[in-house]
Structure 1
Amino acid sequence: MDNKKGGFIGQIESNEVINVAAEKGSVLNARILWTFSSAYKLTKIEDHKKIAKRAFNYILKYFYDTEFGGIFWSLHPDGTPKDTKNQIYAIAFVIYGLTEYYAVSKDEKALKVAIDLYKKIQEHSYDPINKGYLEAFTRDWRNIDDLRLSDKDANEKKTMNTHLHIVEAYANLYKVWKDETLQKDIIEILQVIDTHFINEETGHLKLFFDENWIENPDVISYGHDIEAAWLLLQCAEISEEHSLITKYKKHAIQLTDATKEGIDEDGGLWYELEPKKNELISEKHWWPQAELMIGFFNTYELTRDKSYLNVVLKNWNFIKKHILDSENGEWHWGINADYSLIEKDKAGFWKCPYHNARACIEIINRIEKIKNE
């Protein structure tokens, strides 16, 4: 927590050094909001709810753009806007956090802002001609040249990653706001993802497209493959569209099986593969491990094939040995092929208590469900 300037510190470095001068990212703060709200559901620990409320208050006061109705991408440490672009990915995460917070707090302001942000995405990002959603805009919702989430991404107008997290956010909103138009929007996004983003020949995801759905082939992202495997099925179940539930059960198994290609002998999941060169990005980051645990457990639930459960257990042992920081808390960014630590943020713009906390919460809830059957 940033006890001098409010909210949360923008970065804790790999060596536990707190960087009070770091910019504050909307994604980090939205994920803190979601994580501590979701944790409170499970733990009923009042401190978790208090931290969620702190994140909620800070987002509304500093990140929420009351003039144009968007979310600032980043702030200076004192809370003044730094990068004011509207990145739809970030807005989706704020919706995700706000709706989870509303579920535990019943604060009507959280629901109202979530609904307003949903309507802004539909108004400005939705492509009524070709379907799907465009990536980013200026503060006042004009077109912008650089659409990328980060430097490593292709500069394309439609991406798998953003669509995945829009539907995740919309599904979480629908859980607390049973609006028929929202339900139809969720169903349409799932149909778009089925049509364009899932490669049924390989079982992997296609990641980048232009506005007319012409693909710009890129890497195979094992973490996104396995995250999509379980998360899209969950969204389909929330949509209550039976044909999509059936379809996404099949996708879940296929995406899970395709992810097996990226699992090392030690149980860890490699980061990405460059197919043209058949070149592995031989790092094991924290978040693909977290998503692997949920994704393979989910496929175990669907099939009752214990080979999927064995992958989860082996991966959990890998996490405990190499990723979990039992001394200082949280998870390390990851390890290199030689098992040396990747010295990047312990917490920061992209390193947030979301993938790993969610994995723990999901696995706990799924084990309880099986025990009660």
Structure 2
Amino acid sequence: MEPLKNDMKIELQRILNYWSTNMIDKTNGGFIGTIDYNNIKHPKALKGAVLNARILWTFSAAYQLSENENEYAIAQRAFKYIKECFYDTVNKGIYWSVNVDGTPSDTKNQIYALGFTIYGLSEYYKISQDQEALDIAINLYKSIQTHSLDTKKGGYFEAYTQDWEEISDMRLSDKDANEKKTMNTHLHIVEGFANLYLVWKNEELKNAIIDILNIIDEKFIDKNTWHLKLFFNEDWVEKPDVISYGHDIEAAWLLQWCAEVTKDSALIENFKHYAIEITKVTNEGIDKDGGLWYEYNPQEKQLIAEKHWWPQAELWIGYVNAYQLTNHKAYLDVVYKNWSFVKQYILDNKYGEWFWGVDDKYNYIEKDKAGFWKCPYHNARACMELMKRL
């Protein structure tokens, strides 16, 4: 395991170096909005809240391992930009995107983005003890509880206008169903809340984490297949959709971690059990080359035959976690094989960072190297988790 742990340390530095040398926007502040597949920077591109929140989390978390002052400075830069450009001080929300000059572009409150901002701010508070960062995180938590929580039927609604009115298009992205309650948003709300609880021991917050975990247990985890259900309407009627292997394995370990944050022993045991069961069924999505397929459509019995970067990273943590729970070496073998796949097909050895992914013929998917959705959080977090766990 020591060679793999060392590989993770090297790869983490590779990832951080890419972001610290390529993404700084020296003209307008913050970070460049997009670097495309050809590694060409787009300095006038819109800047996304999720990207900036994930940069904040990544460099804050990395600093705790390295105590590298450059990483601290980038985390500080990310916090300053979020505070000055993304945080809506009037409505206590987060703009979905801003223009290159930092003025608001899309002003909707997508709860997913608020969750990630809480996650990043909480991690930054761990290294900075900056009260302002904690205060903003708490304000965002209160906004979610005030506006997004369904007090009648449980769970959280997806999105609102800037001033917290209802919005017709609640989708996180074009590929998503336009439904009011989604697995993805609940997963990342509870992740943000759990990280906030580590630095702000508030009893109502703890109860909110437990409530979300119970909702996920009841509504989103299919106890027949052990895959996650993705989309529901406000009455918890499911809209059947794809199996998302990446979300399955991410949820397997991340929900267990959230349960552990609460120190609720019954909840922890449940989610340890779920972690193993979900990891087992993730085997369905692993190709003979060790790579994890993106999605499968059970209604049409059709594989979405692509291997994206982020499910590979989440596989590492999920399977190492299952190994730690069971001591079964077969889970570690999956990680070793997937790391070989990633080294061969996903790493960009010329420019750094990871490609978006490959199709079933190993052709590269020509999407961003960095952008709205291509962030350092999945792969850097996987490296950091394995460094700590192995």
TM range (shorter): over 0.9
Name the stretch that deviates more: 324-333 or 17-26. 324-333
**Correspondence for 1:158 among 176, 181, 184:** 181
- 1:75-108 superposed Cα distances (whole Å, 9 cap, x missing partner): 1111111100000000000000000000011111
Over the matched positions of the two proteins, sequence identity in percent amounts to 62
Residue 215 of structure 2 is matched in structure 1 by 192
Output the TM-score relative to the length of structure 2.
0.94
Aligned counterpart, 2:331: 308
Match of 1:292 among 306, 315, 325: 315
- 2:159 equivalent in structure 1: 136
Normalising by structure 1, we get a TM-score of 0.98
Aligned to 2:344: 321
Could you tell me how far 1:327 is from its partner in structure 2?
2.1
**How many residues get paired?**
367
Alignment pair present for 1:211 and 2:227 = no
Question: Which runs of structure 2 are paired with 1:259-278 in the superposition (5 Å)?
Answer: 259-278=282-301
Amino acid at match of 2:107: T
For residue 53 of structure 1, what is the amino acid of its counterpart? Q
CA RMSD after TM alignment: 0.5
- Provide, for residues 257-293 of structure 1, a one-character-per-residue CA deviation record: whole Å limited to 9, x for no partner: 1110000000000000011111000000000000001
Q: Does 1:59 align with 2:79?
A: no
Q: 1:227-277: CA deviations, max 9, x gaps? A: 000000000000111111010011001110111000000000000001111
The amino acid that maps onto 1:261 is: E
Instruction: Name the aligned partner's letter for residue 106 of structure 1.
Output: Q
Alpha-carbon shift at residue 328 of structure 1 (Å): 1.2
Alignment equivalent of 1:32, drawn from 55, 75, 83: 55
Unpaired segments of 5 or more residues in structure 1? 368-373
Aligned residue runs from structure 1 range 105-120, under 5 A = 105-120=128-143
Determine the structure 2 residue equivalent to 1:370. none
Q: Distance in 2 between matches of 1:235 and 1:91?
A: 17
User: What is the alpha-carbon distance in structure 1 between the residues aligned to residue 54 and residue 67 of structure 2?
Assistant: 19
Q: Does structure 1 residue 257 correspond to structure 2 residue 255?
A: no
Match of 2:108?
A: 85
**Deviation string, structure 1 residues 283-323 (Cα, Å, up to 9, x no partner):** 00000000001000100000000000100110011111111
| Alpha-carbon distance in 2 for matches of 1:45, 1:330 | 19
Q: 2:247 aligns with which of 206, 224, 240?
A: 224
* Residue matched to 1:238: 261
Please, which moves more after superposition, 325-334 or 186-195? 325-334
| In structure 2, C-alpha distance between the alignment counterparts of 1:68 and 1:112, rounded to whole Å | 14
Partner of 2:191: 168
CA distance in 1, matches of 2:204, 2:55: 28
> How far, CA to CA, are the matches of 2:91 and 2:130 in structure 1?
23
Instruction: Give the number of the structure with larger relative contact order, counting CA–CA contacts within 8 Å between residues 6 or more apart.
Output: 2
Specify the alignment match of 1:350 in structure 2.
373
The residue type equivalent to 1:152 in the other structure is K
Question: Structure 1: how far apart are the matches of 2:187 and 2:250?
Answer: 9
Matched with 2:66 is 43
| Aligned twin of 2:150 | 127
Instruction: Look up the match of 1:371.
Output: none
Using the TM superposition, give the Cα deviation of residue 329 of structure 1 relative to its aligned residue in structure 2, in angstroms: 1.2
